[in-house]
Structure 1
């Protein structure tokens, strides 16, 4: 997959641009089959209100970020995308360089909702400014929400520790690096806590348990979420079930098989977790689903489950979304 950025340095490539996004010269919306043919011919690039930006390619770029993309979708032109060098006023980077991402406006605000949710569930000595490292946002690639600017691939997010002033990685998506700077279990708990926070706002979050290509990034899109501000649990989504199973095992200390299959063991684990925070039932209700994700994020950023119950979510009045 080819990704775009604001400053690509030596990595910048001059590639064939699919002018006008995903429409033919006559204005007809391309079918998925037609777009796949174009993608195979090397079509890539960013169209932003009629202007084009150069594409950026790298050998480590992730692929296969399209679990929720409808296979029979007729793809329209994505329209104007907003260009941003920040998310929730926190700077974005690509491979160490300042990153300018092209976003669908509604999806851009969805990412900001996630960042705000996550920030207020973190320990109080974890402070901004964040450094948000991404591997991509928009690319004219068929069969992916990246084509619409409605997907982002997170590589890592670092923050400042106000106790010592040092910068540290609060969300490390490159799983093969876990344990190199701190305890492996800490990296893993923080990872799943952040994934839970993303799932609060996005139904489709792809991680390393989805496939091997996601061992260096976490993918977020709003393909199924659409304009909804929160999500609901879907027991028929293997990747979402794996997220729940991983949170139970690595954050809550409730060991279940992580296989993407929703059954009595997973359901029982969720009921146990909810009982610990004073709730009954399972995550089929919207309220319990949100509570499970909210508490998973809180405990994931600390030492796992404890008897301390997280506070209710808060919103910063000085940073409206």
Structure 2
């Protein structure tokens, strides 16, 4: 099984300032790409609605085309002055986890819009309304091996409201909690991760490696502006699905192996059947989205 590229971690935000320079070629290309997504979004691709019981499926306008191939392109490092300076994700303030202070983060405009859409999805289907998102950072000056250096990645640590945690993605802080508390924490962790998997193809959790024990990393590296779908050979995606089956859906027969085996396929198919999903998880992007929304809703 091949793994997604490991990301370099960012521990400090940029400290330099000044007016943002003109649009770079990289930014123009990215903005052009998100324009195509805007058409789909307006047609309802991201409008996942809550009905009685389990959520209804996202609907794509017109004929659904076959899933495009993965975009195996390398990150293109940019200076933070060529990125959008942001202080919020949706309605929540952005706070640097290391200092506990509100901060500015730098990302491409399409990536910022994707973060806003994720938080709206989380509010709707998990039912939490954070006023603060704590993060270990987004842009970092680096090499072409890190999507952080291109302004298309972020490390999310905690979702908070009224001075308390709603969901902690700091597995390092609660992994040794008593069984009942650990069960609650894991359920919230993986329901939150489901929303991130709905929007981002590359989502790295504590299952990926020890470097991600205190945050979840997301980026746009695999598909760019396209919505995610299941890549069966992706250890990160398959492990996450298996963890959701176990820790959210109570399917203890599913083992976290990274292999999309028959037990995992059967369990996800049964979950999708309850949600009115279109076939099996690996069949389509719509099935992937339906599984993630159902998981977010399953308290």
Write the distance in 1 (CA, Å) between the matches of 2:166 and 2:71: 30
Root mean square deviation, CA, Å: 2.6
Asked if the contact 1:4/1:137 (under 8 Å) is kept, the reply is no
Equivalent in the alignment of 1:263: 261
2:141 counterpart of 1:140: yes
| Structure 1 residues 47 and 138, CA gap change in structure 2 (3 angstroms) | farther
Structure 1 residue 276: deviation in Å?
Answer: 2.5
Within a 5 Å distance, the mapping from 1:1-321 to structure 2 comes to 1-5=9-13, 49=20, 73=74, 75=76, 77=78, 80-94=82-96, 95=98, 96-123=100-127, 126-128=128-130, 130-142=131-143, 143-160=145-162, 167-178=163-174, 179=177, 183-228=181-226, 230-255=227-252, 256-279=254-277, 281-284=279-282, 285-299=284-298, 302=299
| Structure 1 residues 262 and 156, CA gap change in structure 2 (3 angstroms) | same
Write the distance in 2 (CA, Å) between the matches of 1:260 and 1:47: 45
Write the distance in 2 (CA, Å) between the matches of 1:150 and 1:257: 32
Write the distance in 1 (CA, Å) between the matches of 2:18 and 2:201: 27
Task: Report the TM-score when normalising by structure 1.
Answer: 0.67
Helix, strand or coil: the match of 1:257?
coil
Write the distance in 2 (CA, Å) between the matches of 1:46 and 1:69: 33
Structure with greater strand share of residues: 1
Asked if the contact 2:280/2:287 (under 8 Å) is kept, the reply is yes
Consecutive unaligned residues of structure 2, counting only runs of 5 or more, are 1-8, 23-69
Structure 1 residue 275: deviation in Å?
Answer: 2.4
Helix, strand or coil: the match of 2:203?
strand
Asked if the contact 1:6/1:98 (under 8 Å) is kept, the reply is no
Q: Which has the larger radius of gyration?
A: 1
Asked if the contact 2:76/2:149 (under 8 Å) is kept, the reply is no
Residue-by-residue CA offset, 1:227-281 (whole Å, 9 max, x unaligned)? 22x2211111110000100000111111211011111111011112122334463
Write the distance in 1 (CA, Å) between the matches of 2:78 and 2:138: 16
Helix, strand or coil: the match of 1:120?
helix
Write the distance in 2 (CA, Å) between the matches of 1:99 and 1:263: 43
Task: Report the TM-score when normalising by structure 2.
Answer: 0.71
Structure with greater helix share of residues: 2
